[in-house]
Structure 1
Amino acid sequence: NGQSVGYGKSITWLTSSQAAILVTTYSFNYITWYSSKVYLYTSLNDTIVPSSPSAVIPNAQQPIPSTINSKLIRIVSTPASLAILDTSGGVILILAESSGYYPSTDTSNSPVAAAMPVVSHSTKCIGGTYKPNTGVHPCILCPSGSRNPGTIAGTSCMTCSSNSFCPLGAVYEINSTLLTSISQAYAYPRLPEMDVFEDILLHNMFSLGLTGHCLVVSPIFWILILLLIFLVLLLGMASLNWFVEPEKRDRLLTIIKNIFQRTDLIGEGELWMGGLASIAIVLITVMAYAFAISYLNQYPSEKVGPSTFACDTTIRNAKFQSSLQALAVPISDEEQPMFNLLNEQNFTFYLDFINTAASCMSLSISEVTDSSTISMILLSCSDLNGTLSATVLLPQHDIKITATLNDIQLVGGVRVGLSGPSSKNDSDTLKELNFRQSFYSKSGGTFAQAATIDMVLTKVINETEPLSGSDSEFEGIWYPTFTYSLNEMFITTDTYVMSANSTSTTLTIDIRETSYYIKNVQSPIAKQSEVIFRTLLFSFLCLEICAMIFLICKLLLIPIYRKVAGRYFPYSINSVEPEYEMKSNHH
């Protein structure tokens, strides 16, 4: 194909196992020149040429000097060293270096002034690389899981511990916790399954859980306890037939029945059994009001503790609604102060280059506009233990910035973030902004020499409607989302060999705001007036249900029972009424 035209324009052997091939790429008609590269092979045999070279010149460690034309026409070995000739007559002489060192052609770091021919100078392998043999080739990357701090000439790499962050070209053994991202975003609660107070009240009044806590707070449990007490009382009344004289027994029974008749809310004092049921109704009513008052105060949800008064301790007197709103729609006067606080919040940009030997001296951060690039002043910068950290104050929210490392040092990972102070204005609260997002290759790649991260910020407005009154409270914060490609941001050894030919690393961060915002609304399920009214209705409902049951028993079940019993057990039915009740019927 067209990319192979010009391969092998010049070939030379360096040693018995090392060779150099000049690859000049032309168009099919040989008129248009595309590029010139020198492929270095360090492990050749007599039969097979590897599919990919061991190194390519120019590369990050061996750039083409500014005095040399990029159009290369010939290479010559002398014999272990390499001479490269350009179309203008310029010559680069690359001398073979021993293991642990590479021949650098970067004239900006040369110990002698640049001259013609340009002669390489010996340089120790940078951090994260090593060179096990002698030759004109550059140092190679330490494999993933190994490292080389670069403090001494690297002829091999040291093995990292299994729980550390040691990607391709690692310099240090970095603790994996440094890669932890910090997020302030959270999923807004969903609408609860029951959002009507009547349903919630009925469910909690008539449910009986299996745990100890659920039993203690269940009204049904206490009603059963009360019924057990009543049963013991009735058994005690029945035992009077065997242990007390009839006249004294009848007098005691009359007193007990009169007491319960006075508490009868169902039959209006007519039924002593109605008094027992009325006590149970009063108990469940008291527990219903205790539940209602406690439930009413479970608002707003983020400012209250567990609902220990209910079996489900997560219930809250709150319902939630979340929606997207277009910024093109005019903002209401009630929400405008919150938007003003968000728009006026100052951003501080945080940047960490992780697992690198680069220093603050090599870092520069600039703002990129449509017409120029403006250098920005760093608020802080530190390079300790393999992490280069810097902060800069952003002049505006929508901004494009570039962070450039003017160095060939490798980078294992990147972490970016923003921070902003909190503020409060009456019922509007701007929350503190503080998030970090880490970027690294899980497969162990090294950071490319050019990468882009798109950071999109979205306003989030949380409105909390009042439990009483009419003024809502507002909270605001920014939520970030990131668009990036890890496959382009982090590269393999082969990609680094073929493409890493720059003497700097540039990270571009494009920060902009979305055209919409997230609106979250929290409102109470029930307010005070509704709680009082609905609980009162519940009390009357319980009373009416019991009255209906007693009425059915009185008008239907008891007559049927007496009719059946009178037919089959006439003696029993005739002896039911005691003497004192018969006398009372004659008055």
Structure 2
Amino acid sequence: MANLSICAAIFNPDTNDYDAYGLKIAANNILLVESHSNAYEFLILLTPYDNVTNDQQCFLSYTDETHYVHSVGVGSHANETNFYAVGQIIGASLDPIDSSVSNNTFIAFYHSPNAESCLTISQILIDYMSLTQRDFLVMVVHPTGQFALVLAENVVFKYNPFVSSRITTNTSFWPDISFTPRAADIDTNFTIVAGLVSNGASSSIRASVIVYLIDNNLRHIYSNWTYKPSNSSWQSQLTFSGTNGWSVKYSMSVDINNFDPTRVLVGVPYLNTVFHFVISGSGTILTLSSQIDNGNSVGFGKGVAWLASDQAAILANRYTSTFSLWLSSQIWLYTQLPTIGLTSAPTAIIPNNQQPLPSTINNQLLNIRPISNSLAVLDVTGTTLLIVSTEPGFYASTDTRFSAESVSTHTISTKQACLAGTMKNNIGIYPCALCPSGSRSSRGSINCTRCNSSTFCPLGAVAEVAQRELETVSQAYAYPTSPDVTSFEDILLTEGDIWIGGLVTIALVVLVAQAYNFSTKFVAQYPAEKVGDSNFACDISLRNAVFETVLQSLAIPRSNDESVIYDMLTNQQWTLHVNLLNTEVACSSMSSNQFIDGLLVPINFIACSENNSTVKSSFLVPHDVATIQFIINDIKPIGGVKIGMTGPGTENNTSILKELGFSQAFYNSNRTLAQTASVALQLTLKNLGGTVTIYL
């Protein structure tokens, strides 16, 4: 007889993973709580979040170091300082025939009698249960905070700390015993649960996404919806293998709209899709109304959050196809959503120039949670960013340069007035929007003002700028090809045969008179670039100059005549002018550098002025090939840029060097200047070529 060795599964989670098993952050308008499993403690923050004191922030230890918290939860509309935590005992056996499986799961209730000091928060109750699975333990807290629901693979239970029989259990609730819950949210009368059901080992698609609409007493499943990909989609090729244990690959997100509970968002990163459902029939009918995805990548919908009845946020992560490597994180913000669903294009994306990702926050974001109109963002290190909603005319800046000193361990946005050229006409966390072309705004505006049609008002205009600021000054001249007859002496009559009588004499007089008239006009055809056509000659391109295009060896010494003009050009000082058009950028936020042998060398401005929403700056530049970096350390809109060069003219006894002076404006009425723009500026001078490249 063979002896069988049975190895019992032991729960041993990675306590440094803030994404594992459940939500490690929860918040409402009273408190924010975050579970730090690696430190065996909760971080608690009381409102107001944007003015934190020492009494409003504290740490609260777990029951002991054997307790691992899967999820924390608060009531979205609770009016008391309460929160719940659910988890399992580290090292406990999950084998149903092992006696140590008893009491391996716990749920705890925390409360504070003083809403102004988190130091009074303590664990009021903790209850234990016996579960044979470890990975799928989803908790939701009723909006009032009066009870919590815990949803597991083979059991569901309701936990009410305010009654004597605190736990009500249902072990046969799910119609499919293979169902594993991945995410959920609760409203006053119903709960939405998203998860996976197994299709069996023989199926090519091992599991399917399913969404349940259930009652809050855990007695009825009102409605359900199962995802079925179209045959032509890339999602139809997914196999859903390896769904037995928790992984980020099969994580999901759910949020019910607190402002309009008939709207629900469900995010499924593996499908790269967010689904919008409508609840009808007094909370008993679940209907899919729309869905959006983010192309062929995976990770879209890692988190979802409603911020108003028509505003939403979606955590758009990107991973490699196997979810083995994170690639990027963005938060897509939607405003003025239609009642029937989502729009494909977001209103704004965080990070942006008004809302950069602070240096205190890791680029890899794990989840987002709504706090009324505000948003809590959790990163991979367990650090939280709070983006606090602002009123019209202001935006929630995440730029830490504007942050006041605070004792808060969280990074909290600050309220900043909308920049000139932008506007915001609603409450929310989204940034101010650029005024459309043909309109303008001042600082802190809630709308844009129409510009006079005769002025320059591009996208993001701050004022009505005169059109003359866009005028181009050009010194370019297309020199003509030299005609066959180019010298005055070729025109004169130099020989005659025989003078015959008076007729010849008269002809000679006429010829001399014509030659004199021609020579007078011919001499006036200089300089070539300042005169018009030679209408007095048969060839109107005739000029008092000879043009040649030849390659000249550098080894040939310059003649004395050539050296004079070369020296004059070498000694001419060039000044580069950079004008910023229709902007509130200040001279103090601008600087410039020159690249010399791979090094950045600062260049000082010789002049800089601000007038009529135009910034005019100038600095000296070298003659040879140069790369100049023009830095604008500001996020204010810029309607256009005008670049030009000047240089003084000189003359001596034999040569004249003309004054250098040209400029050109670069703009597009339907665009504003990008964060990085480059302009290649090339000068071609007579007898000398030089190139200057400017990077803005």
TM bracket, shorter-chain basis? 0.5 to 0.7
Residue 654 of structure 2 is matched in structure 1 by 427
Paired residues for 1:499-514 under 5 Å: 508=695
Change (3 A) 1:77 1:166: same
Residue 567 of structure 1 is matched in structure 2 by none
Aligned to 1:302, which of 522, 526, 537?
A: 526
**Any idea what SS the aligned residue of 2:305 has?**
strand
What is the CA-CA distance between 1:316 and the residue it aligns to?
5.9
Residue 178 of structure 1 is matched in structure 2 by 469
Distance 1:292 1:28 in 2: 86
Distance 1:94 1:145 in 2: 32
What is the CA-CA distance between 1:107 and the residue it aligns to?
1.4
Distance 1:68 1:188 in 2: 60
Equivalent residues of 2:458, 2:670 under 8 A apart: yes
User: Quick check: 1:332 aligned with 2:623?
Assistant: no
Distance 2:543 2:398 in 1: 72
Distance 2:682 2:382 in 1: 51
**Any idea what SS the aligned residue of 2:366 has?**
strand
Aligned to 1:63, which of 356, 367, 370?
A: 356
Change (3 A) 1:98 1:419: same
What is the CA-CA distance between 1:321 and the residue it aligns to?
2.3
Change (3 A) 1:144 1:317: closer
Equivalent residues of 1:295, 1:316 under 8 A apart: no
**Any idea what SS the aligned residue of 1:302 has?**
coil
Paired residues for 1:407-486 under 5 Å: 407-441=634-668, 443-461=669-687
With the length of structure 1 as denominator, give the TM-score of the two structures.
0.61
What is the CA-CA distance between 1:115 and the residue it aligns to?
4.0
What is the CA-CA distance between 1:328 and the residue it aligns to?
4.5
User: Quick check: 1:401 aligned with 2:625?
Assistant: no
**Any idea what SS the aligned residue of 2:516 has?**
helix
Shifted more, 315-324 versus 173-182: the winner is 315-324
What is the CA-CA distance between 1:424 and the residue it aligns to?
3.1
What is the CA-CA distance between 1:21 and the residue it aligns to?
0.2
Q: Higher RCO, 1 or 2 (CA under 8 Å, sep at least 6)?
A: 1
- Counterpart amino acid of 1:292? A
Change (3 A) 1:12 1:429: same
Shifted more, 170-179 versus 106-115: the winner is 106-115
Change (3 A) 1:17 1:185: same
Distance 1:161 1:424 in 2: 46
Distance 1:410 1:200 in 2: 62
Residue 11 of structure 1 is matched in structure 2 by 304
Change (3 A) 1:166 1:454: same
What is the CA-CA distance between 1:416 and the residue it aligns to?
1.2
What is the CA-CA distance between 1:365 and the residue it aligns to?
0.9
User: Quick check: 1:387 aligned with 2:678?
Assistant: no
Equivalent residues of 1:420, 1:433 under 8 A apart: yes
Change (3 A) 1:353 1:315: closer
User: Which of the pair is proportionally richer in helix?
Assistant: 1
With the length of structure 2 as denominator, give the TM-score of the two structures.
0.52
Distance 2:695 2:541 in 1: 46
Residue 119 of structure 2 is matched in structure 1 by none
- Counterpart amino acid of 1:427? T
- Counterpart amino acid of 2:604? I
Equivalent residues of 1:460, 1:479 under 8 A apart: no
Residue 314 of structure 2 is matched in structure 1 by 21
Distance 1:412 1:430 in 2: 35
Equivalent residues of 2:377, 2:385 under 8 A apart: yes
- Counterpart amino acid of 1:453? V
- Counterpart amino acid of 2:580? F
Residue 532 of structure 1 is matched in structure 2 by none
Change (3 A) 1:308 1:336: closer
User: Quick check: 1:323 aligned with 2:549?
Assistant: yes
Distance 2:523 2:311 in 1: 76
**Any idea what SS the aligned residue of 2:677 has?**
strand
Aligned to 1:101, which of 374, 378, 394?
A: 394
Change (3 A) 1:315 1:22: closer
Equivalent residues of 1:103, 1:122 under 8 A apart: yes
Percent identity, aligned pairs only, is: 36
What is the CA-CA distance between 1:369 and the residue it aligns to?
3.2
Distance 2:359 2:299 in 1: 24
Change (3 A) 1:133 1:307: closer
**Any idea what SS the aligned residue of 2:359 has?**
coil
Change (3 A) 1:22 1:423: same
Shifted more, 418-427 versus 378-387: the winner is 418-427
Q: Which has the larger radius of gyration?
A: 1
Equivalent residues of 2:457, 2:464 under 8 A apart: yes
Aligned to 1:47, which of 335, 340, 347?
A: 340
Equivalent residues of 1:457, 1:480 under 8 A apart: yes
Equivalent residues of 1:166, 1:173 under 8 A apart: yes
Shifted more, 308-317 versus 136-145: the winner is 308-317
**Any idea what SS the aligned residue of 2:308 has?**
coil
What is the CA-CA distance between 1:77 and the residue it aligns to?
0.5
Paired residues for 1:79-90 under 5 Å: 79-90=372-383
Distance 2:396 2:315 in 1: 18
Residue 595 of structure 2 is matched in structure 1 by 368
User: Quick check: 1:34 aligned with 2:327?
Assistant: yes
**Any idea what SS the aligned residue of 2:510 has?**
helix
**Any idea what SS the aligned residue of 2:362 has?**
coil
What is the CA-CA distance between 1:198 and the residue it aligns to?
9.9
Residue 525 of structure 1 is matched in structure 2 by none
What is the CA-CA distance between 1:113 and the residue it aligns to?
4.4
Change (3 A) 1:84 1:199: same
**Any idea what SS the aligned residue of 1:133 has?**
coil
- Counterpart amino acid of 1:458? T
User: Quick check: 1:342 aligned with 2:569?
Assistant: yes
Distance 1:308 1:453 in 2: 38
Shifted more, 352-361 versus 425-434: the winner is 425-434
Distance 1:96 1:126 in 2: 17
Structure 1: any 5+ residue segments left out of the alignment?
203-264, 269-277, 462-475, 483-506, 510-587
Distance 2:594 2:407 in 1: 33
What is the CA-CA distance between 1:145 and the residue it aligns to?
0.8
**Any idea what SS the aligned residue of 1:325 has?**
coil
Change (3 A) 1:378 1:111: same
What is the CA-CA distance between 1:114 and the residue it aligns to?
7.7
Change (3 A) 1:310 1:412: closer
Distance 1:433 1:365 in 2: 22
User: Which of the pair is proportionally richer in strand?
Assistant: 2
- Counterpart amino acid of 2:678? T
Aligned to 1:167, which of 454, 458, 471?
A: 458
Distance 2:523 2:331 in 1: 72
What is the CA-CA distance between 1:375 and the residue it aligns to?
1.6
- Counterpart amino acid of 2:624? H
Equivalent residues of 1:7, 1:23 under 8 A apart: yes
- Counterpart amino acid of 2:576? F
Paired residues for 1:483-498 under 5 Å: none
**Pairwise CA RMSD:** 3.2
Q: Deviations over 1:181-226 (max 9, x none)?
A: 2111111134348658799689xxxxxxxxxxxxxxxxxxxxxxxx
Equivalent residues of 1:201, 1:288 under 8 A apart: no
Structure 2: any 5+ residue segments left out of the alignment?
1-233, 235-294, 494-498
Distance 2:524 2:329 in 1: 69
Q: Deviations over 1:533-552 (max 9, x none)?
A: xxxxxxxxxxxxxxxxxxxx
Distance 1:418 1:282 in 2: 58
- Counterpart amino acid of 1:78? I
Q: Give the paired residue count.
A: 395
**Any idea what SS the aligned residue of 2:662 has?**
strand
